[in-house]
Structure 1
């Protein structure tokens, strides 16, 4: 009986898609809009570590009851982080003219959530006086660390560096692809030339052979 139950559970888990459904993505966005500090990865306005963990656990449990993907709390955190980064990169490419399309309303909401609020003038002046201009970024903590991960949470400046690196990597891949296309075209031309030479020799050789036979 236990084996039958385990088989049923496994079949149910495998039948669920690995990618989150639109309903799940909308639920994440709505939850983040209600809790912007969680969306910005900041422990502000009295949100402590335990409350931060409970927010994510609550959200994960709610998402796993919906049709779509089933993930651990750490898995949902990673999905949200990856989604933010990919859309920020897409927005940068749109702004630079590299991509000729627009973000959907839902994607635009995610981008808006991914941009941290600007500090007030009073706070900016205070940080300049104290010589602690980076305290805003240092105040952010790790999301995955709360659930046993070792990767450091990426700040806004780190996100920018990551996006720039990914753009450079994409350009490098494009150059490599273009080089291989050029090499492939050259090889194709050489192949055609060899085939042409071979065809010409086959046509000329029998004729020369017959002429030799006449004078032999």
Structure 2
């Protein structure tokens, strides 16, 4: 078993190749190839897609695994949109948006009809579909690890991480902007306080000068009163009785 076959998730290059192939073959993508001729055509196209995808960087898988991957991928995209009330704008992956726009957006069939389409697709998973001479006998049927679990694209995880990172960076930038504004307001307040302190110091200085002047005037008035009192005493002492 090679290292490529051990990997459980396809690479972004492989996923894009699958979507581009399905875009060229919408009937295959929607499971609309029916009957004996449709079955043969489906097998031929899936074999072609399997060989193409396995030659790209990423895990090598048997055709059965790629059929299941595509069915699961569409189900995942449909479930995400339905869980948000039918809003495809909530899809964070460009690949998922493309799958929705190309294969699921115009799916106005009833639930029963959709289930019939899914059943038509899953007949590709029957053993008889793969045990025929048209399949590459040299391909090793390696088990796919944890394939039963929902497939999560690497791009999905990367986009989710990037969205969270952008959100955190935006919040940090907003916090830094608020801090800068607060610092500016604080600086302006300190400048006004300094100006007020300077004005107060000058007022105190003028008040001190005024009090000093008042003190000097009071001293002069007191001296004048003393002189008047002395003059009056001399005047009365010199007058005849």
Comparing both chains, which one has the higher relative contact order based on Cα–Cα distances under 8 Å and sequence gaps of 6 or more?
Answer: 2
The TM-score with structure 1 as length reference comes to 0.47
Structure with the greater alpha carbon radius of gyration = 2
